[in-house]
Amino acid sequence: MSTKTQVFPVIWNQDRVLLIDQNRLPTEYTFVEISCCEDMAQAIKTMIVRGAPAIGVAAAYGMYLGAREIQTDKREEFLTKLEQIAEMLRQTRPTAVNLFWAIARMLRTAYESLGTVEEIKSILLTTAKAINAEDLQTCQAIGDHGLKALPSKPHKLVILTHCNAGALATAGYGTALGVVRSAWRDGRLERVYADETRPRLQGAKLTSWECVQEGIPVTVITDSMAAHCMKQGLIDAVVVGADRIAANGDTANKIGTYSLALVAKAHNVPFFVAAPLSTIDFELPSGNKIPIEERDSSEIYQVGNTLLTPAGVEFYNPAFDVTPAELISAVITEYGAIAPSELKQFQTKQMV
């Protein structure tokens, strides 16, 4: 793929959705066809599609696919069944707030539409496509605003990122990796350091894959190497994505982000969160109430078919942690780089 080719992880194709199967990357670049809402829910749950913004886009299409299957011309019956579909999709990934935001927007569209059931279905598809297109534009804006937030250095920058917040995790440009892309485009980037991101290895598998496709120099390190790299002066800034941001700026992201923020603070390295405004959960005053998804222990004790630990060991596998707002230099949104303490003033701009 050349730098002119864009990765789109969620594509509407005639009457179905095509998802890049991220479980098969980086060795296989394949698509999964989704034509019913149950399959979309399973794809989200099993991480065929992942990343909060991409999950939101996928859920929006899932709502339409579910609506398309409802066999009634009675408005109230249709809306009742649509609520059931929404609840099924909500159960797939509890931490990623974009999922809930997209579902809420689709439901609001249905309730506010005064036409026939068939007309409501058509409007839902239009809305899902709009959510898709808006996310792409939003991420491009995040990337450009990130350029202004990055530190000024006499040399090109080296940016460290964690997990995957790139095109694969969004509608096609990226949040954290969107900042990286914009910096590379403008000649301000020297290299990306990508944490491997245990236990799912999204950094090693996905972030590095995206960088290689675009010719961006990338170095993969284990999660435990970040402190050493900062001490050696190798890192100019850290940019990560987010799955949910509380109203005070506390941020839930892939497990390991909190420790990375602590290390960055200790070494005076700026730590940025890049995310669309839809990732901010203004209903939560702080990160203490953010639900943390726990995943199957097999993600820890085996890689492929190879067991890593002896029998009798117990496991704890939270998929996310919460970084306190005081460790975050700024939240880079489509409206600019915002201090965590200033996020609340943007609540009215968040459309549902």
Distance from the Cα of residue 334 to its chain's centroid: 15
Cβ atoms within 10 Å, residue 292 = 16
Distance CA(31)–CA(138), nearest Å, equals: 24
Only one residue has tokens 């707030």, namely: 97
Distance CA(31)–CA(336), nearest Å, equals: 34
Q: In what order do the strands lie in the sheet with 336-338?
A: 218-221, 189-195, 157-161, 237-240, 271-274, 330-333, 336-338
Residue 182 in tokens: 């914009």
Q: Is 296 one of the catalytic residues?
A: no
Distance CA(146)–CA(270), nearest Å, equals: 12
Only one residue has tokens 């603070």, namely: 265
β-strands 251-254, 244-246 pairing: antiparallel
Under 8 Å between Cβ of 207 and 239 = no
Under 8 Å between Cβ of 278 and 244 = no
Residue 219 in tokens: 């170095």
Catalytic entry in 144, 243, 281, 321: 243
- The residues carrying an active-site annotation are 243
